[in-house]
Structure 1
Amino acid sequence: MAKEKILVVEDERIVAKDIVKSLQRLGYKVGASVASGEEALQKVAEIQPDLVLMDIMLKGKLDGIETTEKIHENFDIPVVYLTAYADEKTLERAKITEPFGYIIKPFDERDLHTTIEIALRRHLAEAATRVALEKEKQLSELKSRFWFMVAHEFRNPLTAILSSAELLESYSHELSELKRREYFYLIQTSVHSLNNLLNEVLEFGKAEEGKLECKPESLDLVCFCRDLVEHIKFSSGSKHRIIFTNQGDCPDACLDEKLLRHIFSNLLVNAIKYSPEGSNIHFELLCENEKAVFQIKDNGIGIPPDDLELLFDSFHRATNVSNIPGHGLGLTIVKKCLDLQSGEIAVNSKVGVGTNFTVTLPLNICVIQDKNVRS
């Protein structure tokens, strides 16, 4: 196991050589030994040491304390001060830089070893604490955004259902048959919207908790795609035309049908949602080299370049969606469903022209799972 790399900053040549020899005897790797603050800053940037042993009283424009301040501004690297003597004012300046230890010269190797190990362990512990706090902060923000989204997305369809029901109850005898049908249709579509949202919220919750499971079974991909297209056409009620085509030999695959439905239902519904009414949606399947390659192409609003990197982040929606309904969970679920099946997804999009999603999956995930179990 490689030992930690240490940078020595000491302007007295003989002392510096002794420190380097001691460090090497203790099993540490000495990245460099330099004599000035300016050289130290250059070496820190160059070799990225795990720890810096810094003499406080350096010759040149920068003393050890000023050099440490500049290291802290740009790097997360612990510094241990070396000092033979320092007045009270200098020590107070040194404390402000929050060093990871002091070594008083002259020192023996045991003191040097103990101080370095404590500094390294403390730095690791602080780094772990920072990561944990950042994750906790992100989780808190995610929960806040989640509940805000749920409340907002539920309010609109519930309001539509309540308003329509009240109108039908109070004025049913005054309304024309067409108007009554409109209100019933609004209630039905609102209920469908709530049901879809609940399903996505439940799946998102499972994904975040690591409870989504991959249970691959034998599957006819061509039949699956055709059935899915018919289902999307019926449930969406859109006037878009979904054109499915397939190429290559698509033998019985071994994939998780439920996860596939999450993936391609989301992608096809998005293609419909963000495309002009009456336009064509192309859904293509190509089987070759033991892989299934799916493409969903639309002629919709497209995705701005700045949004592409964040496309699969929870609750992120492209900046050009305007008032098109959505909650930014669908593509997050798509990515998690693909990861469970060793799949990949790529997107090519141009604003005002359209979007092309390419999904690549192994035809036989059962074989991959079997290999993983045996290894």
Structure 2
Amino acid sequence: MANVKILIVEDERIVAKGIEKSLKKLDYIVIGSVASGEEAVRKAAETQPDLILMDVRLRGNLDGIEAAEQIRANFDIPVIYLTAYADENTLQRAKLTEPFGYIVKPFDERDLHAAIEVALRRRLSEVAIRVALQKEKELSELKSRFWSMVAHEFRNPMTSILSSAQLLERHNRELPEERRREYLYVIQRSVEAMDQLLNDVLALGKAEGGRLEFRPAPLDLESFCWGLIEELQFTTSSDHHIVFVSQGQCVDVCLDANLLRHILSNLLSNAIKYSPRGGNVYLELSCPNEEAVFQVRDTGIGIPPADQLHMFEAFHRAENVGRIPGTGLGLTMVQKCLELHRGQISVNSELGAGTVFTVKLPLNRDLLVANQPLSH
């Protein structure tokens, strides 16, 4: 293995020189040679070698096994023992330090090389297993937290539905028409919230599971944006107006319409949701430098600086949203779609003054050329 750094711990100078010569011949990097256990611990801390060749019998108060125990506990550096003493007591003491090898002197260069390579391979395997276990643990914790949050988010609208339904059942006859309409409206909005949450969770699960695909195709961006705006104006409050401005030049582009719909609909819906009634929400489109640039701007409540650091995390909602409904999954989905599209997003927000999200997506014009039919 290239660039492997090895520390030699050997109190016999001639033997140490011979080991150093063999290691250099085998293309290993010798970062030092020390003669005592105390020096071994100090040198290991300073240089952080990939492997230590440790003689069992050493000068000083620490023998090789005691030094190896300290090094393993403090620095987690693998050790191979080199010793002329193979008695049972020494072997048992050495085993407790979990060494990566044990070579009995005298040994030849091939034995040394084989022991080092086996130790290094074992080390790589252990590191890989440790990383995999840590990732599995983090994923398990994330899944647990995710479903806990999903259950919590479902509980709120379900409670509203149950309470409203019970009130209608018990007091329907004496309730005035206006109050009955209020309860029915609460039920309707709660069902819509649950439906939105379910859709968001399914979409995010699809993205996390690698089932959300990037399928770019020829797209008329202006027509796409007008169509999306018409849909949003129909499904959201009529108190808001979406102003669309296009700089033109967005022809012959190749984007994934499904991913783009997720990105823009989430950003525009948030802009509407967190803007004052009667206000405008702006969508601007331009295509400079072989990329589509979308800006979604509002004059709403803004995002606190501390929340901007976590706004793409699942279920995270800014501290100033109050009772404005939302799942906290929209921006997470936006990020997943951007990753597949190899796009970028930035935000500029000021409390009480509004927010601007800027999205940049590569136009993939080369895919258009590649997919054009051959002329005859």
Q: Is the 8 A contact 1:303 1:355 kept in 2?
A: no
Q: Is the 8 A contact 1:311 1:331 kept in 2?
A: yes
Deviation digits for residues 14-35 of structure 1 (CA, Å, limit 9, x no counterpart): 222211222234x342242232
CA distance in 2, matches of 1:200, 1:290: 31
> TM-score normalized by structure 2?
0.82
Q: Is the 8 A contact 1:293 1:358 kept in 2?
A: yes
**Aligned pairs, number:** 365
> TM-score normalized by structure 1?
0.82
Secondary structure of the residue aligned to 2:287 is: strand
**Structure 1 residues 194 and 259, CA, compared in 2 at 3 Å: closer, same or farther?**
same
Match of 1:292 in 2: 292
After TM superposition, give the deviation of residue 212 of structure 1 in Å: 0.6
**Structure 1 residues 140 and 18, CA, compared in 2 at 3 Å: closer, same or farther?**
same
Gaps of 5+ in 1: none
Runs of 4+ in 1 over 6 A off after TM superposition: 86-93
Q: CA RMSD in A?
A: 3.3
Match of 1:127 in 2: 127
Q: Is the 8 A contact 2:23 2:30 kept in 1?
A: no
Match of 2:31 in 1: 32
**Structure 1 residues 325 and 218, CA, compared in 2 at 3 Å: closer, same or farther?**
same
1:273-352 mapped onto 2 (5 Å cutoff): 273-298=273-298, 299-305=300-306, 307-318=307-318, 321=321, 324-350=324-350
Structure 1 counterpart of 2:224, one-letter code: F
After TM superposition, give the deviation of residue 71 of structure 1 in Å: 4.5
After TM superposition, give the deviation of residue 223 of structure 1 in Å: 2.5
Secondary structure of the residue aligned to 2:341 is: coil
Q: Is the 8 A contact 2:303 2:318 kept in 1?
A: no
Residues 178-187 or 53-62, more deviating: 53-62
CA distance in 1, matches of 2:145, 2:309: 20
Residues 218-227 or 70-79, more deviating: 70-79
Secondary structure of the residue aligned to 2:281 is: strand
**Structure 1 residues 59 and 39, CA, compared in 2 at 3 Å: closer, same or farther?**
farther
Residues 140-149 or 170-179, more deviating: 170-179
CA distance in 1, matches of 2:216, 2:363: 11
**Structure 1 residues 320 and 124, CA, compared in 2 at 3 Å: closer, same or farther?**
farther
**Structure 1 residues 207 and 111, CA, compared in 2 at 3 Å: closer, same or farther?**
same
Structure 2 counterpart of 1:129, one-letter code: I
Residues 29-38 or 60-69, more deviating: 60-69
1:71-150 mapped onto 2 (5 Å cutoff): 71-72=71-72, 75-85=75-85, 94-150=94-150
Match of 2:362 in 1: 362
After TM superposition, give the deviation of residue 357 of structure 1 in Å: 2.2
Structure 2 counterpart of 1:39, one-letter code: K
CA distance in 2, matches of 1:121, 1:281: 58
CA distance in 1, matches of 2:226, 2:118: 64
Gaps of 5+ in 2: 372-376
Secondary structure of the residue aligned to 1:23 is: helix
Secondary structure of the residue aligned to 2:115 is: helix
CA distance in 2, matches of 1:73, 1:241: 64
Q: Is the 8 A contact 1:296 1:357 kept in 2?
A: yes
**Structure 1 residues 216 and 8, CA, compared in 2 at 3 Å: closer, same or farther?**
same
1:5-20 mapped onto 2 (5 Å cutoff): 5-20=5-20
Deviation digits for residues 60-97 of structure 1 (CA, Å, limit 9, x no counterpart): 68765565456445645322233344998877665444
Secondary structure of the residue aligned to 1:237 is: coil
Q: Is the 8 A contact 1:81 1:102 kept in 2?
A: yes
CA distance in 1, matches of 2:86, 2:156: 69
Residues 81-90 or 198-207, more deviating: 81-90
CA distance in 1, matches of 2:109, 2:22: 6
CA distance in 2, matches of 1:256, 1:319: 33
Structure 1 counterpart of 2:305, one-letter code: P
Deviation digits for residues 290-340 of structure 1 (CA, Å, limit 9, x no counterpart): 1111122344241434x5454433444445556554444322221221122
After TM superposition, give the deviation of residue 57 of structure 1 in Å: 4.5
Percent of counterpart pairs with the same letter? 61
Secondary structure of the residue aligned to 1:292 is: strand
User: Is 2:56 aligned against 1:41?
Assistant: no
